[in-house]
């Protein structure tokens, strides 16, 4: 019996077949990576999901699935990818990241809160997955390795972990998202936080759109403006509004979005919520609805201030939320190519 136990302890599975290892995160802590990235058949995918579900997880720890498409299914591709939803849900996964156009069929079957992202290239996928991993996560990587770059995903993740010790102040962050499909086309350091300027303006714009749809507000409403103290404006852009000046909501919105006018932002916030403080108190709920996970603000004027933060991922989440919820107002924020 002792000899048998010793031999079992020596056993190592075939490479890429349910190989478990620990990945250290640059922010501290570690995740368990289950590398089963050798085959994308439906039965093999279900087996991998079941095995990942056997790994114990503590409080606030999650199961993450990083999945590539199923291989060579022809006419059965859509129904087979849709069939993955049930074992994913049964296994209790918290987030699912999907690669390959066939995975759009699965994406449509999963609850929105489970969808970590849909990708067409592994570089963007690796950036996004790593940006959202937490200490204690169990991460299954599984998918077809034929006719796809998905077989590179684990190597890409490890490369980024090795190079992620660059000081934040010297980093450049980039993010490009297709709002029509939700596909992240390019991502680099999108998860890293910074002190935002004028993020409140985007949130005020979103709150106004909500009010217009609910018929609580109108762009033609007249606002009796207030002069905003220099201590609030802090030499930032402003329209120079005076006490008792009459302006329409539309004009204030234009001043805020086109000129980044901080006095217009404060007056709009008070129009929407009664006081700037009340509007500030309502922003966390709006940020939660938009899927913003790393943002916090302590003023509505749009000035930088200690204790504030956001990330490109959160900004993308907010714009995506606005695009999905209020497409009739997207022209406020965007130019369109002819």
Distance of CA 330 to the CA centre of its chain: 19
pLDDT in tens, 201-256: 999 999 999 999 999 999 999 999 999 999 898 888 899 999 999 999 999 999 99
pLDDT at residue 146, as a whole number: 74
Cα radius of gyration (the chain): 24
Work out the pLDDT band at 172, boundaries 50, 70, 90. low
pLDDT at residue 1, as a whole number: 46
Say yes or no: 157 and 205 in one domain.
no
pLDDT in tens, 241-298: 999 999 999 999 999 998 889 999 999 999 999 999 999 999 999 999 999 988 999 9
What is the rounded distance in angstroms from the CA atom of residue 114 to the CA atom of residue 88? 10
Work out the pLDDT band at 324, boundaries 50, 70, 90. very high
Neighbouring CB atoms inside 10 A of 259's CB total 12
The CATH number of whichever domain residue 98 belongs to comes to: 3.90.190.20
In a domain, 12, yes or no: no
What is the rounded distance in angstroms from the CA atom of residue 248 to the CA atom of residue 296? 29
What is the rounded distance in angstroms from the CA atom of residue 88 to the CA atom of residue 287? 28
User: Whole-angstrom distance between the N-terminal and C-terminal Cα of the chain?
Assistant: 75
**What mean pLDDT, rounded, does the chain reach?**
85
In a domain, 9, yes or no: no
Say yes or no: 203 and 91 in one domain.
no
Distance of CA 105 to the CA centre of its chain: 20
pLDDT at residue 12, as a whole number: 45
Work out the pLDDT band at 160, boundaries 50, 70, 90. confident
Say yes or no: 156 and 23 in one domain.
yes
Work out the pLDDT band at 10, boundaries 50, 70, 90. very low
pLDDT in tens, 259-274: 889 999 999 999 999 9
Which string of DSSP letters, residue by residue, matches 263-305? Answer: HHHHHHHHHHHSSHHHHHHHHHHHHHHHT--S-B-S-SS----
Closest CA to 294 of 137, 132, 113: 132
Say yes or no: 124 and 225 in one domain.
no
pLDDT in tens, 40-65: 788 889 988 998 888 877 777 899 99
Closest CA to 142 of 47, 276, 243, 75: 47
Domain count for the chain, please give it: 2
Work out the pLDDT band at 66, boundaries 50, 70, 90. very high
Say yes or no: 231 and 147 in one domain.
no
In a domain, 140, yes or no: yes
Work out the pLDDT band at 163, boundaries 50, 70, 90. low
Pure H helices in the chain: 2-10, 42-54, 77-82, 85-90, 104-107, 122-132, 153-163, 199-213, 230-233, 249-259, 262-273, 276-290, 312-325
What is the rounded distance in angstroms from the CA atom of residue 19 to the CA atom of residue 126? 19
pLDDT at residue 278, as a whole number: 96
What is the rounded distance in angstroms from the CA atom of residue 48 to the CA atom of residue 222? 60
- Domain of residue 81: give its range: 19-164
pLDDT at residue 26, as a whole number: 73
Say yes or no: 199 and 318 in one domain.
yes
What is the rounded distance in angstroms from the CA atom of residue 173 to the CA atom of residue 60? 28
| Average confidence (pLDDT) over 290-308 | 91
Is residue 256 within 8 A of residue 271, CB to CB? The reply is: no
Residue 101 has pLDDT above 50, yes or no: yes
| Average confidence (pLDDT) over 126-152 | 87
Closest CA to 92 of 42, 57, 132, 40: 57
In a domain, 180, yes or no: no
Counting every residue written for the chain, the total comes to 338
Q: Best-predicted range by mean pLDDT among 104-108, 156-160, 194-198, 303-307?
A: 104-108
Say yes or no: 243 and 135 in one domain.
no
In a domain, 10, yes or no: no
What is the rounded distance in angstroms from the CA atom of residue 325 to the CA atom of residue 172? 30
pLDDT at residue 202, as a whole number: 96
Residue 170 has pLDDT above 70, yes or no: no
Last residue of a domain, one of 146, 164, 182: 164
């Amino acid at each position: 019996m002792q000899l048998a136990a010793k031999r079992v302890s020596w056993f190592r599975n075939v490479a890429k077949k349910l190989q478990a290892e620990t990945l250290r995160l640059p922010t501290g802590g570690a995740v368990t990576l289950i590398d089963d990235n050798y085959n994308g058949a439906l039965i093999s995918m279900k087996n991998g999901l079941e095995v990942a579900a056997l790994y114990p997880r503590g409080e606030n720890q999650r199961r993450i699935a990083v999945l590539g498409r199923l291989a060579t299914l022809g006419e059965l591709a859509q129904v087979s990818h849709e069939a993955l939803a049930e074992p994913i849900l049964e296994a209790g996964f918290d987030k699912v990241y999907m690669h390959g156009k066939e995975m759009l069929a699965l994406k449509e079957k999963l609850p929105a809160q489970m969808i970590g992202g849909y990708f067409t290239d592994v570089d963007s996928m690796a950036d996004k997955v790593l940006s959202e991993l937490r200490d204690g996560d169990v991460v299954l990587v599984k998918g077809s390795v034929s006719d796809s770059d998905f077989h590179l995903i684990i190597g890409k993740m490890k490369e980024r972990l090795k190079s992620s010790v660059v000081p934040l102040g010297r980093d450049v962050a980039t993010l490009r998202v297709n709002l029509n499909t939700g596909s992240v086309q390019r991502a680099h350091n999108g998860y890293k936080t910074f002190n935002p300027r004028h993020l409140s303006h985007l949130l005020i714009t979103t709150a106004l759109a909500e009010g217009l749809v609910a018929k609580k507000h109108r762009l033609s409403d007249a606002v009796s403006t207030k002069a905003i103290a220099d201590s609030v404006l802090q030499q930032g852009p402003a329209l120079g509004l005076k006490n008792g000046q009459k302006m329409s909501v539309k004009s204030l919105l234009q001043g805020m979005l086109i000129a980044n006018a901080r006095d217009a932002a404060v007056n709009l916030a008070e129009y929407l919520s009664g006081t700037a403080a009340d509007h500030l108190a309502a922003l966390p709920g709006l940020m939660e609805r938009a899927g913003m996970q790393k943002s916090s603000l302590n003023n509505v004027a749009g000035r930088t201030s200690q204790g504030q933060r956001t990330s490109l991922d959160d900004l993308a989440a907010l714009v995506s939320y606005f695009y999905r919820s209020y497409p009739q107002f997207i022209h406020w924020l965007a130019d369109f190519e002819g």
